[in-house]
Amino acid sequence: MKNNPLNILILVLTLFVLAGCMKDDEWISRHQTGDSFSGGVFIVNEGNFMYGNASLSFYDPITRIVQNDIFYNTNGLPLGDVAQSMVIRDNLGYIVINNSGKIYVINTSDGKYVGKITGLTSPRYIHFVNSEKAYVTDLYAGQITIVNPKTYQITGEIITQGHASTEQMVQWNDYLFVSCWSFDNTILVIDTQTDAVVGEIKTGKQPGGLVLDKYNKIWTLCDGGWSKSGTTSRIPMLQRIDPATRTIDKSFSLTANAKPSRLAINGNRDSLLFINDGIWKLGVNQATMGDRPFLSTENHLYYSLAIDPQTSELYLSDAIDYLQRGLIYRLSPLGAKIDSFKTGIIPGTFCFK
């Protein structure tokens, strides 16, 4: 033990230093994929709130190939925090990133990022009035933002007095119907010519999804809000609106403990589907709801649902524990399983190309 312990210490410590280097640069190194996206479906994976791990996947139903993390892999940038929705217009994909306050615009052929609309508050959905005007709803802003989807500029706003949250949109003639979801019970009517609120319809609590059926009636799914312990005042509902008279002409009440979500309509626009544990189906002319779901849960806690407008095939997502890559089932219009695959964290919305 003639060795000087201090010398040994210094040697060991020096080795530790050499081990130190953390690199964001490497982490973000851009890699291009040669892949391109023809027919298929984009899957927007929300990611975890405040993690910033939203991602974009693409599935080709013919080859059955799924490509994950395409936004990051193509562009070297993360998609952002909580990707909410996506719409395709003129070969461009507009991806609304809720908690990043922006809309990324990609070329849907190669996934390349071509622009962005920034400076939003808590954007949820985008709706195109024409190629130079689109509306963006918002969870907190108390306004609908008007943007120019060509120049990516914010061009104006429609104040939604008394309604902080605006959610989904569906257009009938010149009128846009907007659901006010968070803590609200209203559908606003906006004249797309004048950008003015011209009417409102009171609905059940928390109207979310909106679809237009083949008879030009609008359907909305009111999730009923959440129940406070000790109170049972919530009544989730599926309601039908006549856009001409702006009145509710049909209402289906669900059970008080139901937690319905994700209203969708099939390709022929004559059949509604939504999640309420299992998958429920309702013909638009049906008089009663029925007491059994169209598809049972089979150990899945379904998170999202979409219908391919061309083929009426179903896409169902299961976020599993919300902290791992979620599972997608592709089903025939009658509910037979065709394929299953995994995408990203919390697969939330589907955008068919």
Partner 1 sequence: MQNNQLQHFFSKMRYLNIVSVSVFILFSANAASAQRISDTIRIKTIEIFADKIVKEEAGKTTTKIDSISMIKALTSNLSELVAQNTPIFIKEYGRGAMATASFRGTAPSHTQVSWNGISLNSPMLGMVDFSTIPVYFTDNVSLLHGSGSLSEKSGALGGVVKLANTTDWQNKFSGRLLTGVGSYGTRDEFFQINGGNNKMQSQTRAFYNYSDNDYQFVNKFIADIDPKTGKYLYPTQRNENSQYENYGFLQEFYLHPTEKSIFILRYWYQHNDRSLPRLLSNETDNNANINRQSENAHRPVAEWKYYGKKGTLSLSSGANIQLLNYQLKTKVSGAADQLVINSDSRSASYLFKASYNYQFSDNLSIITGANTEINSVLSKNSPLNGEPQGYDRQRSDHSVYIQFSKSFNDKLSANLLAREDFIGGKSTPFIPSAGIEYHPFRDKGYFLKGNLARNYHQPTLNDLYYIPGGNPQLKPEEGIMADLGSGYAGPVGNTVTFHVSLNGYYSRINNWIIWLPTPQGYWEPYNMKRVNASGFELNTGISGKLYAVDYHLNGNYAFTRSINRDDPRNWADESIGKQLPYIPRHSANFLFNLSRSGYHFTWLWTYYSERFTTTSNDKTSKLDVLYPYFMNNLHLGKEIKLNRQKLDIELKILNLFNEDYRTVLQHPMPRRNYSLLIRYDF
Closest CA to 92 of 34, 50, 134, 33: 134
- 41 versus 82: smaller Cβ distance to partner 1: 82
- Reduced to 3 states, what is the DSSP secondary structure of residue 157? strand
- 171 versus 206: smaller Cβ distance to partner 1: 206
The sign of the dihedral angle between the CA atoms of 184, 245, 306, 76 is: negative
- 213 versus 223: smaller Cβ distance to partner 1: 223
Closest CA to 208 of 26, 84, 344, 351: 84
- 265 versus 346: smaller Cβ distance to partner 1: 346
40: alpha, beta or left, given left = phi > 0 and alpha = psi -120 to 50? left
- 124 versus 240: smaller Cβ distance to partner 1: 124
Considering the complex, what minimum distance in angstroms separates the CB of residue 74 from partner 1? Answer: 13
- 152 versus 172: smaller Cβ distance to partner 1: 152
Considering the complex, what minimum distance in angstroms separates the CB of residue 236 from partner 1? Answer: 11
Considering the complex, what minimum distance in angstroms separates the CB of residue 89 from partner 1? Answer: 19
Q: What letter does residue 100 receive in the DSSP assignment?
A: G
Q: What letter does residue 10 receive in the DSSP assignment?
A: H
Cβ contact 315:51 at 8 Å: no
- 22 versus 334: smaller Cβ distance to partner 1: 22
Give the gyration radius of the chain's Cα atoms: 23
CA distance 226 to 344: 27
CA distance 208 to 223: 7
Number of Cβ within 10 Å of residue 17's Cβ equals 8
Considering the complex, what minimum distance in angstroms separates the CB of residue 301 from partner 1? Answer: 7
Considering the complex, what minimum distance in angstroms separates the CB of residue 309 from partner 1? Answer: 23
Cβ contact 61:40 at 8 Å: yes
CA of 17: how far to CAs of 25, 108, 304, in Å?
A: 20, 46, 48
Q: Is 278 exposed, middle or buried (0-12, 13-18, 19+ CB in 10 A)?
A: middle
CA distance 292 to 274: 13
Considering the complex, what minimum distance in angstroms separates the CB of residue 28 from partner 1? Answer: 5
Considering the complex, what minimum distance in angstroms separates the CB of residue 214 from partner 1? Answer: 28
- 108 versus 165: smaller Cβ distance to partner 1: 165
- 61 versus 344: smaller Cβ distance to partner 1: 344
Q: Is 124 exposed, middle or buried (0-12, 13-18, 19+ CB in 10 A)?
A: buried
Considering the complex, what minimum distance in angstroms separates the CB of residue 147 from partner 1? Answer: 13
Considering the complex, what minimum distance in angstroms separates the CB of residue 242 from partner 1? Answer: 27
Q: What per-residue string of b and e applies to 89-99 under the rule 16 or more CB within 10 Å gives b? A: beebbbbbbbb
